[in-house]
Structure 1
């Protein structure tokens, strides 16, 4: 493959974000995004409908966005299809994807990943594109009602592709350069290699991460109620560590808290103890109910009941998980102190970087087998 080339970018002022500091809301706030109150909008592409947890974003000083992406049109139309090669440059270089239905093919820096329900991907400003997604053929109304899961399930794998996606700050506030146009794509090459450049404020140690839902490190372990407080449930409660704390540069922790359906067992399990310390982390916490029901107790002991599609964002200690129903799956994200070192991109920086997109990629490498070998263009290598 050869040594990576180092381009001498002379872009003073674009080295790192230079705007206002990102500040988590450290008050005892509680913000709820109810599924019944939301709308799905084709924000970026006609085939992708977005449902954004805006109450949580605004209450947390705009520091963190969780959104659902639901594919709603077939891939073969002229106005849909694969995405162009692009990269996001959010503060911290953070983008998290958790697939919840259907199947996707993602190209991360020339290496192809086929993923379905429960797969987790965290990428730190890597050039990528979406090559394929499943579409059920259902109407929009019916498509948005199909169940979601983090456990591979033949039924959910056949639905339209959906995933939960998280960014530090709103994607409209940072550069999102498209780095290769569709006329330049050649399927026998990897022309999106993004060699090292300084337009990145990734924390030390952050990197690319993929977790397969059936891998040993993705097994569900008994919920440590003795350390975190009791949780009422008709079924045993389990937790899966998504493994994203270290790859995110210790910006965000991620876990799935879940129960089996009554009379059945669908969660792949381990009897080993879960890490209670990791599950308790978070200056701010975000809970998304992927399926089922849950209740959270505030400091006064009042129960906040949430159902499928609801999201709650809260300051540290403002709520705790108190109840969880059967066949329930909850995404928990803990936002850590590393946010304090991050800044926003200024509008001027953002526009300059977007305009320089064509310079970010500087050469192409032939790869005989796109499924083998190490990725070649990580910005952090």
Structure 2
């Protein structure tokens, strides 16, 4: 069987794109290395810019009774606070629940989903692409990469190098503010927390790999000796009850420039470029990339666009709508996580509301 569109990666962007393409009566293959449902290291906050798009996909936040988030609390390593209103706001939902729901919608729409399948790479031919996997080869006209930060085989890997980070995630229960997303600095990293569904809170932090190495890779020691020096984080650790004792971790996290299109392969979400978690909205960026790409791919399949034209338009739109946000996120992360610069940058952000509002505008987009 030859597919119109083959998608590697069944996260938010891959599932969203597969649903839209299937609804347009296209034959869609989606390859996912894991089984659903699954937990992922992710901040689990979605800004309201994505609300209408999720409803279009079949996810209605109001029916899920999700927590509405409209406040931001930010603390430096000493626990000094900055508070700001999130005018656009957002809501929280576990990836475990959201990915499973989208998976069920995609399957209902007729997407051919192959879970527990590892992609090895691809080959180009006159008809399009041959996708190489551990479960056999598949032929298709269009190939999309939505596998996240880690490219494999001959998929585009972007730039190499950059600072290396480790991500750690817990789900907690406790009496914390339901309408607030908290961002808290500590030496060598930062931690975010906000409420999600099922009366849980998502706590996720990024730490420089060199800092974790200093504590011999012992996460619990790092948390007690470094994170909890911030009084706000110390309070969270004392009052929160872990839903699962052991954290979910991810290593070799880097933030460097990638490409939305390379070798005629279209990339979505983190595969095209990762936004620093300090500025949030990675989930919205993933969904937005699918919203941009779907009409272009249908124009190719309907013989209205050439593949080259679709690639050019997608790269331009991706850079226009998300490039600035990703670049801003990297710079904000840099200033807040450099020991010599953090006090000055925190002073400016704390004392000038115009700077706070500018940062929020730079990291939130228009509804799509």
Q: Normalising by structure 2, what TM-score? A: 0.21
Q: Normalising by structure 1, what TM-score? A: 0.21
